[in-house]
Chains A and B, each alone.
Chain A
Amino acid sequence: AQENGPPDKVTEWVFQPCFDSSDAGWANGVVPWIEAVEAATEGTVKIQLEPSGAITSGSEAFGATIAGMIDGTACWATVYGGDMPEGMLAFGLAMGASNYRDAWAAMWGDPKYRIGELVEEAANERNLHWIGWSSQGPNAMFTKFPVTKMEDLAGKKMRAGGPHALFHEAMGGAPVSMGAGDIYTAIKLGTIDGTYWDTGGIDDMAFHEVIQYAIMPGWCPSQHQEIFVNLDKWNELTQWQRDRIDEVFMTTYFETSRMHMEGVAEALATLEAAGGEVVHLSEEEVKRMREKSVSDIWPKVAEKSERNAKGVELWKQFLTDIGEL
């Protein structure tokens, strides 16, 4: 092996995301990233991808990567946020960045902010390296009732888990926690009035059959999925391999984020074809919701850790600088 080229040894990694192969994060996220990594390292890093539940459950995949039971995972901070609160800075804050280009600028692109470094520090402390990133488009409200302003959410029972629940509560709504498998039936039978969900995934869940409205840009206009690898496994690579993988971080971010946006357009078209309606909130209304989010919800993210507090400040600065706050 030479210093400036591929090593003779092929490294094999086992990855298990927190989601299964039907999720948009699979074909539009982790698979293209794996292909890019394998190509960039000239086949010296091979990644075997297993669906959630194969080796452990989705909720355990993050911890399993830390412990070295698997080599890597792709996950949302809405799942692993209890293990590493800094993940929420990468996932996206309530009414945070409006699109993936802005998100990139704040996290990595503009040297003034570099919020991503806070997340990487937190990951390193947990024996992880943050190795890939992808925007999955808006996480939004899917309802049986029309929403044109904040007040329309008041008193409505919506399925909402972690950060979505904080948002819904801040809007005056009644967040309901329930298992993903119960949502469809619960909306259909009127147990709840709607759900918060990944926009690109509503057709997979067949929600277009039971809801009437998609409320854009949602509570998190650009939500993200992160890919982490066990730090020891990362350090076992040669410098050349690490450099090649670092290079695809940005290119796959933009490639997969674009793919996700196409998926979002498709999912919304499916909803409209089923007789549903896509509501786009006015700029003014988005601004009102953002102000409410920054004052009521962001402090809750900030209080989780010192890095979170720092990260939230930087996010505020960024949105102020681009005129959205």
Chain B
Amino acid sequence: MKVWRMYEWVIDMVVEGMGRIGWALILYCMISGITDVFLRYVLNKPSLWIGTTIQAALVLIACMGGAYALNKDAFVKLDLFYARFSPRKKAVCDIITVVFTFLFLGVLIWKGYSAAQLSWKLKQVTPTAVPIPLYPIKTLIPLSAIMVLLVAVKKLGNDILTIIGVNHQS
């Protein structure tokens, strides 16, 4: 039990850290978006890289925001029937459907690793006038999927604890 609480604590900490990066990325999108327009409209000196880095920031937001949102239980569900279930019944459903989650994340990690490898091999950059390297971004995709998987494991553990009656959270 102590080990499990420790695991939860570590996951929460790492995800919180990813959240801070996510916050910074949101602020970056806002500030650089305004700057881009200012450079173009007022100074007539458009940037050749801001737009591309905003696109990159969006991918990183998906990377950071996935684990963050799942850890906060903010992934939208069609809780039509689910909402009315007892905590125990919910836990049983969660354990059935977790197969989908693990398969999806497993493939995202496995194939994401291959995609990252290829990107490094090609030294992949954007075809824009100021090339932005893509391999770091593609490397972060499987890494952040691992974090989402660890959050999913945390939820699965709590579901099991609920079923065997140890956990009393809903």
Which residues of chain A have a CB within 8 Å of any CB of chain B? 63, 66-67, 77-84, 126, 155, 157, 160-163, 165-166, 169, 174-178
- A161→B127 contact, CB < 8 A: yes
Let me know if B118 and A161 touch, CB within 8 A.
Answer: no
A142 CA / B122 CA spacing, docked (Å): 34
- When chains A and B are docked, how far (Å) is the Cα of A210 from the Cα of B42? 23
**Contact A80 B127, beta carbon cutoff 8 Å:** yes
- The list of the 8 closest CB pairs from A to B, nearest first, reads A165-B129, A82-B125, A81-B127, A82-B127, A177-B51, A162-B127, A176-B46, A83-B122
CA A63 to CA B134, docked complex, whole Å: 12
CA–CA, A157 to B44, complex, Å?
Answer: 8
- Please report B residues at the A interface, Cβ cutoff 8 Å: 40, 44-46, 48, 51-52, 114-115, 118-119, 122, 124-129, 131, 134
User: Contact: A84 with B127, CB < 8 Å?
Assistant: no
* Contact residue among A67, A80, A166 (Cβ-Cβ distance under 8 Å from B129): A166
- Interface secondary structure of B, over-half rule: loop
Return B78 CB to nearest CB of chain A, in Å: 26
- The docked-state distance in angstroms from the alpha carbon of A196 to that of B52 is 18
The answer to whether B128 touches A177, judged by C-beta atoms less than 8 angstroms apart, is: yes
B127 to A177, Cβ gap below 8 A? no
Residues of A within 8 Å of B129, CB to CB, are: 160-163, 165-166, 169, 175, 177
Number of CB contacts from chain A to chain B under 8 A = 60
Distance to closest chain B CB from A198 (angstroms): 15
A89 to chain B, nearest CB (A): 14
State A177–B132 Cα separation when bound (angstroms).
Answer: 14
Q: Please determine whether A162 and B40 come into contact, CB atoms closer than 8 angstroms.
A: no
Q: Is the CB of B114 within 8 A of A67?
A: yes
Contacts of B134 in A (CB 8 A): 82
Chain B residues closer than 8 Å to A66, beta-carbon distance: 118, 122
Given contacts A67-B115, A166-B129, A175-B129, whether A157 and B46 have CB atoms under 8 Å apart is yes
Distance, CA A178 to CA B131, complexed state (A): 15
Assess whether B44 is in contact with A174, with CB atoms less than 8 Å apart.
Answer: yes
Instruction: Given A79-B127, A174-B46, A176-B40, decide whether A84 and B52 contact each other with a Cβ distance below 8 A.
Output: no
Specify which chain A residues have a CB less than 8 angstroms from the CB of B122 in the assembled complex. Answer: 63, 66, 83-84, 126
Contact A78 to B48, CB < 8 A, known contacts A83-B122, A157-B40: no
A105–B3 CA distance with the chains assembled, in angstroms: 71
Contacts of B119 in A (CB 8 A): 63
- Other A-B contacts than A162-B129, A166-B129, A177-B51, 15 sampled, CB-CB below 8 A, are A63-B118, A66-B122, A67-B114, A67-B115, A80-B127, A82-B125, A82-B127, A82-B131, A161-B129, A169-B129, A174-B44, A174-B46, A176-B46, A177-B46, A177-B52
Q: Which residue of chain B is the closest to A77 with respect to CB atoms?
A: B127
Are B46 and A155 in contact, CB atoms less than 8 angstroms apart?
Answer: no
Contacting A174 at CB < 8 Å: which of B45, B51, B115, B127? B45
